[in-house]
Amino acid sequence: MKVNIQPVQIWNAGQTQTATQFELNGVWDNFDNTATLYYQLLDVDNVQLSQGNQTIDGQDYQDWDNDPDANTWIVNWSATQLGLTII
């Protein structure tokens, strides 16, 4: 899922660049209590400026599993963990 974010400055390839989009995908889930997510921060031209993995588990995983709008919930959770603001 890709969403627009409040622009953030990222050091990439020796220069400061601006990320304006956040993309999140699930890469692994044991369907019980933990999952791994893959995120990318992209510029206005969809060029990847940063990427990484996150793990969700414990109470956060249970809250995600119980939310009727799980996709929105997980994107908001991930963005919050990274200090991003979705717009």
Query: Residues 75-84: pLDDT tens digits?
Result: 999 999 999 9
| pTM for the model | 0.93
Strand ranges inside 1-87, DSSP E: 2-12, 15-29, 34-42, 48-57
**Structure confidence at residue 65 (pLDDT):** 87
Supply the pLDDT for residue 24.
98
Predicted local confidence at residue 73, as pLDDT: 97
Bridge partner residues of 37 (DSSP): 26, 54
Note the pLDDT tens digit of each residue in 14-52: 999 999 999 999 999 999 999 999 999 999 999 999 999
With a CB cutoff of 8 Å and minimum separation 6, the contacts of 27 are: 36, 37, 38, 53
